[in-house]
Each structure stands twice: as C-alpha cells, then as structure tokens.
Amino acid sequence: MLSWSIAGALIASSLAVAGTPAAATTGRLISVTALHTYATRADVDAALTTDKFDPGTDRYGVRTYRLVYRTTDPTGRPTTASGLVALPINDEPRLRTVSFGHGTSIYKLDAPSTSDDVFLIGPALTFASAGFAAVAPDYLGLGVGPGPHPWMDVPSETTASLDLLRAARTFTARQGRQLARDVYASGFSQGASAALGLARALQSGADPYFRAVAVAPISGAYDFRHAEIPALFTPAVHPVLASAYTTYLLSAFDRLHDIYPYPGYVFRSPYVDLPELFDGTHPGEEILMALPPSIDDLLTPRGKAMLLHPTGRFADALAELDSVCTDWTPRMPVRLYYSPGDEEAVNANTEHCHATLGAPTVDVGVDTDYNGFVHEGSEVLGVPEVTRWFTALSS
C-alpha cells in the first residue's frame, strides 16, 4: 500500500475556506494551473515508458492541470483540496471520465497534482491518452490542501473525489467540452478503497449528475482489521514498511478518532515522537531513517494488543474503512485487480472483497522491476489492463 514509490526506492537502495456553508460550496472550482502538455501520443509514450508503464493504449497527446476546489473535512467543515485533471488532445467535445485514486503518500507534495513522478501521474496520462478525461484527487491534506492527511479515511476520500469531479466538470465546460455522466472509478492501494467508496456514493445518488458505471480497484487493503493488520506482524509484509504503515494508521486514526490516551501508550521509547513526522511536512527519506527495523521494536504490548484486538472507537473506524466491500451491493461491473505475492496489501484483502462483493478477480501477473516490490509493480501492470476494460465497456 505504501505506494510511496518513494519508499520502495529508498528501501531498495492554507487555503482553508471559512464563512460559507459547506453544502453551498462543495465542488466549487477555485483555481486552475496548467501543468504539462504532451503534444503527441509519442510524447505520452515517452513519459510512461520512463516508469515502465505499457503505452499500448495510448492514442492522443495529453494536457494536465492542477485544480484547487472546495470540499469538506472529516468533520463536515469547509476546506479546500487539490487534484490533477488530464484531458486528451482531440476533437471530442464530450468526454467519458475516469476517477483514479492514488496510493499512500506521506509527504504533501508526493501527490498527483504536485509531483512529476510518473508513478503518481502515469495512471492519469494513460486514461487521458486513451480518450478519457482523467481526474486524480490528491485527497485532503496532500498536494496544496491544508492540514494533515486523514489516511485511510474513506468518507473524506469519497468527498474529495466527488468534489473534484464537480470542479472538473466546471473546468472542462470552460474549455468548451463536457464531461459525460458516466464515471469509471479506479485506484491503487489506498486509492482502491477510495474508488469503491466513490462508486458506492454515486450509486446511492450522492450527485444528481454523475453516475458510476464500472469500478476497477487495484491491490487494495479492503480488510484492514482481519487481513492487513495481522499480516503486519508476519514476514508477509516488509518489516520496515510494516512499521511505517502502523505508525501512519495509529497517528492518523488517533488524530481523527482519539483512539489512545497518549503516544507512549502505544509507541515504545525512543519512538514516541514518531507520529509527529506523519504530518505531511516530512519527506519519505526522513521518515524512513527514523523508523524502527520492525513492528515489535515500535509498539508497546498495549499498542500491539490494540491493533490485534481493536475495540471501541478504533474498532468502529476500522469497520468503516472495511465497509467498502461489505455494506453495499454494486449495480455495476466490478473487477478486483491484484498481483500474487503482494508484500504490502496482502492478497487476503482481495480474497475478502471477492468473497463479500462477489466481484471477479483479475491476476495482472508479477513485476518486481519497480523498486523490487510486487505491490508497486501491480499498479504498473494493472493500469493498462483497467484502461483496456474501461475502453471496451464504453465502446
């Protein structure tokens, strides 16, 4: 899940809004920044192949933009967020839309609209070059959005994704183009849950215009309580990444849900101050240097017990996170993409979602060339396959 391609590489080697009701402003476009122009299909091909993405679905050049827009924070208060929009360079006035949720980032600028890392922008380039309008939310607290990021908070991932769709609709209209009603949702790792959350919300009528027509998450952690957390204590997950995920989870959930009385309750000395590094202002290199070598070095006995046997607010928050595969019945095609032997979002997550949603799974194979990690490689392999499926469905 640490799709900080960043983390794999390292181990292998105030715009806040006030004064107006949230309901009146969500999705309102604040600003647009033109980012890059890939004038031809060949330019897109060249960009994608630098990070091992298959350019086989490319058809058009692409222009990318950063949108800043109004949304709400996890408490419902008005705030702002940013996201990437990628549009194909063609004469099509009406564009089908793909919403793609990125994987875990710890540093604010490691987000689609504020990074040139092809791992982060490659999915949007792929979908846009295939002829879709691609929108990629940074989520709350990442990109140029204010505050810390509420990691693995599906409700705010959903609202940030939906409000970016609304802002993108306004923006494309100003370009003399129109976003069609149909939304194809996808995402990788953390973004896999975000994609399911968005599809669920659209199916329930969260927006009067947009409707979800297919969802294709890649390598998600859909069963955090029963699959992902237990795996963190086993060799199935890289030990340093297990420390990183655990710290991010506990610090983000405590910030949002108040799940422990003080850091020393769950973190051993000298790691009691480690959660302070997960505020979005510290690059991955700094955090990885500060992490303990294993989760056993990180946690107190009470911290370990809390993770393995969650109760109270923590259990409720995990249930909400895992509900993307348990509390709805999709009325649209769903495919769950994965790579066997994923050492971050272990395959038991996909098996759980398959069992509860009844959605078919798609094995995209294994590519460990991307920083030596199966997990990151599953995005590189999965995005072109998802693009082909979405293209076939929309034909």
Q: What is the pLDDT of residue 395?
A: 86
Domain with CATH 3.40.50.1820 in the chain: 5-223+332-394
Residues forming a β-bridge with 63: 37, 87
Domain with CATH 1.10.260.160 in the chain: 234-320
| pLDDT tier, 11 (very low <50, low <70, confident <90, very high otherwise) | very low
Calculate mean pLDDT across residues 330-351: 97
Q: Over 60: is that where the pLDDT of 330 sits?
A: yes
Torsion of CA 335, 315, 72, 330, to 10 degrees: 20
Q: Over 80: is that where the pLDDT of 16 sits?
A: no
Q: What is the pLDDT of residue 3?
A: 43
| Segment among 98-112, 169-183, 190-204, 280-294 with least mean pLDDT | 280-294
The architecture of the domain spanning 234-320 is Orthogonal Bundle (1.10)
Q: What is the pLDDT of residue 15?
A: 29
Calculate mean pLDDT across residues 16-42: 76
Q: Over 80: is that where the pLDDT of 311 sits?
A: yes
Q: What is the pLDDT of residue 41?
A: 98
Mean pLDDT score of the chain: 93
| pLDDT tier, 370 (very low <50, low <70, confident <90, very high otherwise) | confident
Q: Over 70: is that where the pLDDT of 14 sits?
A: no
Residue-level length of the chain: 395
Rg (CA), the chain: 19
Lookup: tokens for 141? 């607290």
Q: Over 60: is that where the pLDDT of 136 sits?
A: yes
Q: 339: helix, coil or strand?
A: coil
DSSP string, 29-81: EEEEEEEEEE-SHHHHHHHHHTTT---TT--SEEEEEEEEEEEE-TTS-EEEE
| Segment among 102-111, 188-197, 321-330, 368-377 with least mean pLDDT | 368-377
Task: Supply φ then ψ for residue 166, to 5 degrees.
Answer: -65, -45
DSSP β-ladder status, 78-89 and 61-72: antiparallel
DSSP string, 3-18: --HHHHHHHH------
pTM of the model: 0.93
Question: For a pLDDT cut of 70, what percent of the chain falls above it?
Answer: 93
Calculate mean pLDDT across residues 64-85: 97
Calculate mean pLDDT across residues 9-25: 38
Domain 5-223+332-394 has CATH 3.40.50.1820: yes
Lookup: tokens for 219? 């390598």
DSSP string, 161-192: HHHHHHHHHHHHHHTT-EEEEEEEEEEETHHH
Q: What is the pLDDT of residue 37?
A: 98
Question: For a pLDDT cut of 90, what percent of the chain falls above it?
Answer: 90
Lookup: tokens for 24? 């009146």
Closest CA to 198 of 343, 102, 124, 101: 101
Write the Ramachandran bin of 304: left for phi over 0, alpha for psi from -120 to 50, otherwise beta: alpha
Write the Ramachandran bin of 183: left for phi over 0, alpha for psi from -120 to 50, otherwise beta: beta
Lookup: tokens for 327? 């509390």
Calculate mean pLDDT across residues 53-68: 98
Q: What is the pLDDT of residue 289?
A: 93
Burial class (CB in 10 A: 0-12, 13-18, 19+), 208: exposed
Integer Cα distance of 137 and 158 in angstroms = 10
Q: Over 90: is that where the pLDDT of 362 sits?
A: yes
pLDDT digits (tens, 9 = 90+) for 114-135: 999 999 999 999 999 999 999 9
Q: What is the pLDDT of residue 266?
A: 98
Say which residue, 1 or 252, is predicted with more confidence.
252
Q: What is the pLDDT of residue 23?
A: 44
Residue labelled with tokens 């969500």? 26
H helix runs in the chain, sequence order: 5-12, 22-25, 41-49, 118-129, 154-174, 190-203, 229-232, 239-257, 284-290, 295-298, 301-308, 312-322, 348-357, 374-394
Calculate mean pLDDT across residues 352-372: 91
pLDDT digits (tens, 9 = 90+) for 214-242: 999 999 999 999 999 999 999 999 899 99
